[in-house]
Amino acid sequence: MLEKDAHNSSLTAITGLRVSLVDELEEQIDSLLEVLVTREVFTRDDREDVLGQPGPRGRVRKVLDILECKGEEAAQLFLSIRSHQQVFNKTKAAQLQCLEYNKVRQKHKDVLRRRSECMLFHNSRHGEKILFPEHYVNLLLVDGHQVLEVKKHEVLTFGQKRLCLKQRSVAQRTITPLELFSRANGTRPVKKVLVTGVAGIGKTMLVQKILFNFGRSEDSLAFDFIIHMSFRDLNLVENPTNFRDLVLRKNKHLAKELDTILTCDDKLLIILDGFDEFRHYRSCDADVFVTEPDEEAALTDILGSLLLGELLPRASVLLTSRPAATNHIPVGCIDRFVLIAGFSLTEVNDFFSRYFRDPTLASSMFAAASANELMLTLCYIPAFCCIVCCILKQSKDLSGESPKTMTDIYVHYLMAMLHSHTKRRAETDHQGSTQQLSDTVLKLGKLAYRKLMEHQTLFYSSDQEVAALEGCSFLSTFLDKMVAQEPGYTEEVFSFAHLTIQEFFAALYCAVTDQPLPDDSLSSRGEAANGHLDLFNRFLSGILSNRNAAVLLRQVGLRCSKEKAEAYRYKIISDLTKFCENGAYILNSLHCLFEQQDPSIALAVQPAKLQINVSDNTLSQMDYNALKYFLNLTKGQISELDLTGTGVSCEALRDIQPLLVRCKSLWLGENNLNMGAVQVIADVLRVSDTITYLGLGWSNIGDEELQELCSAIQVKKTLKELWIEGNRVTHKGLLSLKNVTPEPLKIVVAIWNDLYDTNPESVHTQESIKVNFTDDDMWDSWGEWVFRRCEVSSNEKLVTVLHKVCKISAQCLEAQWAKTFYRKLSELIKSRIECCVEDDMCKKLKTFDCLFN
Ligand SMILES: Nc1ncnc2c1ncn2[C@@H]1O[C@H](COP(=O)(O)OP(=O)(O)OP(=O)(O)O)[C@@H](O)[C@H]1O
């Protein structure tokens, strides 16, 4: 019996599979029949019998009946033909799918190319097409961002008790857009990239460049698909949604292949542009995870999951943001931080050439811009460069007082645009009056202001403020119009030509109406201006300055009230005085002062102590200009200048060297200081009669650099404390301290250096050289300093400081000073939590609260 079964195994199999074979073969029975005849398994008569059956399923059944009569050999041949057929079908399906995938990929590239091939310039939006490749100017991209790398490191090692907490400084280098996803040092894959840069520096342009090149298959970014989403547009998503729908919103042509595209997620790049513009930017550190593209969820959870790699874990993500919002990005998941540094002089020149096209005109315009150094500095930011060109194009020169500040440039721009508009109107209907102009400007201002306060950058035509603009003629100069496809209907959607222009109009509205000045000073709850209104405040200050107020009144009949201007000046003076005295973060106030260009305001700032804290923020030349402007107008000693984590370079240090000489405490830690930079510091030590405390922790200092500093310290002998934690100094390096300790240097803090071996000749047995935490007064004062800084910090800055100080907790908690320090911190955190209204911030503070208790 068994033997018989074995002999008849194919026949038995066919009998067993009969039902499924009928399903499987019904669509291919005719071709299968032909093969059976060709291979002589069936005769022509058999074929006639089969074809005589009604319907394909009947024909399959007949084939199976005949096979049963023919016996085992025929059954075997049949099964082998069937399995060949299966393989053939599968290959064909795969080929078809691949063909379809490639077709959609090409189509998508065509769409991206079409979408990105034009460039919008602020004054050329009346049907004038400017081709992207003809106007795109190379942007300087810097790989590595000290402050964010440190933050990431701190987030990742949060609460860990590590013995050696050395944080190497980040080596920075310039890269090209092509290298954004290339592996650093050829090791770890780079999947999540964060690109930051200040307003108008070219983040969106960089995204356009990537899309354009991809659309033209011009670069070798190894992706099959790039999905581009802007937060400006995502703000319009109201209800829970899913990732698939988010992709299809703007890419309906991907619908058929989307499953395959999402399955091959390692070949997918998702670009999320303008995180700072996101209405829900505070809620992206998701703890509710979405793992499937079809899962319905809140937009923030979907985006958070994408960033954290819970959704489409193999996909690459490029996120762009202004620096102010980076505190709300889960930096732990970012593999590469890239900073856009804008243009250098060569690129500014290139921009002028491309803008004016005629080389002679371009070079005379460039000369006009170069005549004003401050204006040239502004041109390093592409958006400002573009506006400068636009003004020059309209007015041929910079007549009158030439622009010195960012606001001056925007006011000139507004005037140039209005002027060209009235000229055009005058040529046709002679109706354009100043009154009409100022009315429209005010309406635009109201729209800009209301929406900025609500964190909105896109507005529907049904919005009240948009409806009020109906019929105004020069809107297209400042507003972009798009048509949004909503399910079932379309609606017009507007946005300002650029976010900075919205911020400018918003400030203008606030300056010339009775809208109260926004109160952004640090409240006891630590809710300082969260960066969202930084630029708005700078514009507001500039517009309220006597110079610009006069221009606005003369040219458009817009009047800033005297009281408001006075109140604002008073606010600058009192803010600056307060921040100098308490050591709070001061950069934006310095910019507001700079915008006024009125030395009498700076002279009125007379703090009891001059402390300047601009730490933990990469500084640009414009920032240094604002810093120099204020400090050059003040006299005498600078009690403290805190440039920790600002990316300060050797050139920048040279630029501000005269200020460094006036400092008593100078903090330069968490910057990558090369030998050139150390030499500038040494030069300062050689001449300064005031410098007493110097902080160079985590700044890549090695033995040679330390030696350079020690020989400089010996000249004036004013330095008392040197902080060089977390560097590369060895025992040998410490020997160079021999001649300067304990006099004049009373304290050298060298913990977390390369001091592993116990060297009998070592100098750190000297009491003044600290290589470990101890229980003494010095740490007590350190704790007090940190605590004072925490007290005047916004919650966001506080969290940055807390991350830094929580590192030491494990090692020294037993010391009395540490007990007091952490108890006070814990109380401060508790009081901040009580008043905190922002969910993500509350969560962060609570984590520290748990840690410290
Ligand atoms: N590489 C470039 N080449 C030519 N023009 C540029 C370039 N980058 C920026 N611009 C000009 O500057 C303007 C602002 O650039 P973009 O919108 O990319 O800035 P952003 O960094 O995204 O600003 P924001 O943070 O305010 O959104 C552009 O509209 C364009 O006119």
pLDDT single digits (tens) 443-492? 999 999 998 988 888 888 878 888 888 777 777 778 877 776 666 667 78
The number of the ligand 1 atom at minimal distance from the alpha carbon of 500 is 26
Residue with tokens 């999951």: 305
Q: Which amino acid residue places its CA nearest to atom 15 of ligand 1? A: 202
The answer to whether residues 663 and 612 touch, using CB atoms and an 8 Å cutoff, is no
Give Cβ neighbours of residue 162 (< 8 Å, ≥ 6 apart).
807, 810
CB-neighbour burial class of residue 807 (10 A; exposed 0-12, middle 13-18, buried 19+): buried
Q: Distance, CA 428 to ligand 1 centroid (Å)?
A: 34
Same domain, 407 and 502: yes
Give the pair of three-digit tokens for residue 763. 């100098």
Q: What is the pLDDT of residue 425?
A: 57
Residue at 399 is within a domain: yes
Q: Single out the residue in 307, 342, 377 at which a domain terminates.
A: 342
Whole-Å CA distances, 295 to 75, 241, 291, 292:
48, 8, 7, 5
Query: What pTM, to 2 d.p., does this model score?
Result: 0.76
Same domain membership, residue 322 and residue 226: yes
**What is the C-alpha separation between 16 and 492, in angstroms, rounded?**
64
Q: Which residues pair with 228 in a beta bridge?
A: 271
**Tokens linked to 398:** 């910079």
Is 269 within the bounds of a domain? yes
For residue 530, what are the contacts with CB-CB under 8 A and spacing of at least 6? 324, 794, 796
Ligand 1 center to 498 CA (angstroms): 8
Q: Structurally, how many domains does the chain consist of?
A: 4
d(C-alpha 812, C-alpha 114), whole Å: 61
Query: In testing the pocket of ligand 1, which one of 119, 131, 204, 533 has its CB within 8 Å of the most ligand atoms?
Result: 204
Structure confidence at residue 164 (pLDDT): 35
For the CA of 320, the closest atom of ligand 1 is 22
**For residue 531, is it within any domain?**
no
Determine whether the shortest distance from the Cβ of 382 to ligand 1 is under 6 A.
Answer: yes
**Pocket-testing residue among 201, 205, 207, 233, ligand 1, by greatest number of atoms within 8 A of Cβ:** 205
CA distance 474 to 479: 9
Report which DSSP code applies to 216: T
**Same domain, residue pair 39 and 64:** yes
Any domain includes 18: yes
- For ligand 1, atom 10, the nearest C-alpha belongs to 382
139 lines ligand 1 (CB under 6 A): yes
Pocket of ligand 1 contains residue 230 by CB under 6 Å: no
Judge if 199 and 318 occupy the same domain: yes
Q: How far is the CA of 141 from the centre of ligand 1 (A)?
A: 14
* 262 and 289, same domain (yes or no): yes
Domain coverage including residue 63:
2-96
Q: Is the distance from the beta carbon of residue 132 to the nearest atom of ligand 1 less than 6 Å? A: no
Is 366 found in the same domain as 309?
Answer: no
Q: What is the pLDDT of residue 515?
A: 87
* HSE-CB for 685 with a 13 A CA cutoff: 28
Going by the DSSP 8-state scheme, the letter that residue 217 receives in this structure is: T
**Final residue in a domain of this structure, among 96, 116, 148:** 96
Pocket residue to mutate for ligand 1, from 386, 390, 458, most atoms within 8 A of Cβ: 386
- CA of residue 201 to ligand 1 center, whole Å: 5
498 lines ligand 1 (CB under 6 A): yes
Claim to verify: residue 309 and residue 168 sit in the same structural domain: yes
Please tell me the distance between residue 208's alpha carbon and the centre of ligand 1 in angstroms.
10
Mutation test of ligand 1: which of 498, 505, 533 has the most ligand atoms closer than 8 Å to its C-beta? 498
322 CB under 6 A from ligand 1? yes
Q: Does 279 lie in the same domain as 196?
A: yes
Q: Is residue 103 part of a domain?
A: no
Please check whether residue 246 lies inside any domain of the structure.
yes
Give CA–CA dist 510/494, Å, rounded: 21
Pair (254, 335) in one structural domain: yes
Please say whether the beta carbons of 204 and 244 come within 8 A: no
For the question of an ipTM over 0.90, the answer is yes
User: CB of 387 closer than 6 A to ligand 1?
Assistant: no
**Ligand 1 center to 205 CA (angstroms):** 5
Which pLDDT score, from 0 to 100, does residue 778 have?
82
What is d(CA 32, CA 37) in angstroms, rounded to the nearest whole number? 9
138 CA: nearest ligand 1 atom:
1
- Helices and strands, counts by H and E, the chain: 38, 19
Nearest CA owner, ligand 1 atom 26: 199
Is the Cβ atom of 293 under 6 angstroms away from ligand 1? no
Per DSSP bridges, beta strands 489-496 and 479-486 are: antiparallel
Q: Within this chain, do residues 254 and 390 fall inside the same structural domain, yes or no?
A: no
Show which of 466, 491, 511 is a domain's final residue.
511
- Given a cut of 50, the residues of the chain with pLDDT beneath it are 1-4, 121-126, 157-169, 428-431, 521-528, 809
**Atom 8 of ligand 1: nearest residue by CA position:** 202
What φ, ψ does residue 494 adopt, rounded to 5°? Answer: -115, 155
Residue 124 inside a domain? The answer is no
Judged on CB neighbours under 10 Å (0-12, 13-18, 19+), 698 is buried
- The 489-496 sheet, strands edge to edge: 459-460, 489-496, 479-486
Ligand 1 atom closest to Cα of residue 499? 26
Is the CB of residue 396 less than 8 Å from the CB of residue 588? Answer: no
Q: Which helix (H) or strand (E) holds 781?
A: helix 777-791
323 in contact with ligand 1, CB cutoff 6 A: no
Query: What CATH number corresponds to the domain at position 57?
Result: 1.10.533.10
Q: Is 232 close to ligand 1, i.e. is its CB under 6 Å away?
A: no
User: 631 alpha carbon to ligand 1 midpoint, in Å?
Assistant: 31
Which atom of ligand 1 sits closest to the CA of residue 204?
18
Please indicate whether residue 124, judged by its CB atom, sits closer than 6 Å to ligand 1.
Answer: no
**Ligand 1 atom at minimum distance from 342 CA:** 8
Residue 129 included in any domain: no
Gap between the Cα atoms of 501 and 496, Å rounded: 6
Q: What pLDDT is attached to residue 122?
A: 43
Ligand 1 atom closest to Cα of residue 351: 4
Query: Does residue 386's CB lie within 6 angstroms of at least one atom of ligand 1?
Result: yes
Q: Mark whether 171 and 198 lie in a shared domain.
A: yes
257 with 404, same domain: the answer is no
